[in-house]
Amino acid sequence: MPVCLYCELDKPDIDMTLEHVIPQFMGGAYAPDRYKVRRACKDCNSNLGLFVDAGFAKSILAIDSLLIAEAPVYDPESPTGLPLNCLGLIEFAVPDMKPDECCEYYLGPLGESIFWVRHHDENLYWLQGGNPRTTKKRPSRAYYFPSPATPTHPDVAWKSFRDSFPRRKVRKILGDAMPDGDPAEMGFTQSDELDRARIAVFQTQLAEANFGVRSSVNLDADYRFIAKLARGVGFAWFGDRALQGHCAAEIRKAFTIRPGAPTPNMRGSGMMDYAGKPNPMMMGHKYGITLTVTLTAEGALLAIDFSQQRGAIIGILDRDLIQRADAERLRHGKSLILFPALRTSVELGVESYIGHVFGRQPHPELQAIEERLAAFQPNPALPFHIRLDTQNEPGRQH
């Protein structure tokens, strides 16, 4: 029976599912076929996708970089919206909020304010949007307040809110008048007495603009995501050898880490180490997500770069497990640049990428993508540049 590349248990073929080892939010659907494998069991595929991939994608470690990649190619006429930016949990009292509930505060792409009163799982205090399994089953309420910029592109503002709260059990409440459109046709529910009491409190806090927001970061989630990605990319290049040796053992500890457990001894550095700094192994693409696999004296390494904003390096295979064929395939390293917003990717050798970056030998495929990116002229009315500095916000950290 095949072995699941995550839990490493023997599972029958029927339990194995197609796994994009590069998650969908990074553009994994548009990666080369080697990164799509049928070696993840149903349980691992579901659990790691919900709690590791999706959790990281919504975190402050990723959201800025993803918005930077999306902004230059966003079409206001697109049928989909942009991701909302979660600032954290509000710290003022909300009328009739139950002990097991919390209220998250979100900013939309045009500065809209959204307050989401939802079920709170203390064990997942750091996961924006809460436990995905319980929040989609329990009724909740999301209160939407347009901004002064909303009238410039009301469709963009509304689509971003709509796509972020697609769940049927989320009651959508309009906190202030929309500049265009029928609230009922847009999915808003008529407010009741409780809603009106909450709206009054939210409006007061927004007018005073001095309420506190608590943003919590669980650094274990950083390790878990990097480790899961490293396991998948390692398997894509080295097969079952990626499940053997010291690197594999520490990676396994990392994506199954439990609160209070010692930090795994993974070779490399995490996202927080390279926040806002160039990845020391290579330059990432400003509007893409770059993954580089290279061989060193210590073994195979994976370098990750998010739009030149955040990066990480991790060992994915021990030196004694590298074979001659690996050296031939990975001579000087391979880079994969993913452009999720454009639904495409480019894979090329590191030497070719460096030659392209410095203009010595432009890469035709990459050059075509960059010309396409340059052709987009983001509307200045869309303030995509909203950036959040949460370093000084109170919040628990592991």
- pLDDT, one tens digit per residue, over 188-206 is 999 999 999 999 999 999 9
pLDDT of residue 385: 38
Percent pLDDT > 70 in the chain is: 87
pLDDT of residue 388: 31
pLDDT of residue 320: 95
- pLDDT, one tens digit per residue, over 218-240 is 666 678 899 999 999 999 999 99
Q: Averaged over 348-367, what is the pLDDT?
A: 93
Strands (E), the chain: 16-20, 36-41, 85-90, 101-107, 113-119, 140-145, 170-174, 213-214, 268-269, 289-296, 299-306, 310-318, 334-339, 344-349
Question: Over the range 279-318, which residues count as b (16 or more CB within 10 Å of their CB) and which as e?
Answer: bebbebbebbbbbbbbbeeebbbbbbbbbbbbbbbbbbbb
**What predicted TM-score, i.e. pTM, was given to this entire model?**
0.84
Q: Averaged over 87-98, what is the pLDDT?
A: 94
Place of tokens 């999915």: 187
pLDDT of residue 284: 86
More confident residue, 81 or 91: 91
Model confidence at 398, pLDDT cuts 50, 70, 90, reads very low
Query: Domain ranges in the chain?
Result: 13-58+218-375, 79-214
* pLDDT tops 90 at residue 321: yes
Q: Coil, strand or helix: which one is 161?
A: helix
- pLDDT, one tens digit per residue, over 247-257 is 999 999 888 87
Q: Averaged over 366-394, what is the pLDDT?
A: 58
pLDDT of residue 317: 96
* Selection from 142, 138, 132, 133 nearest residue 103 by Cα: 142
pLDDT of residue 56: 86
Backbone angles phi, psi at 205, to 5 degrees: -65, -40
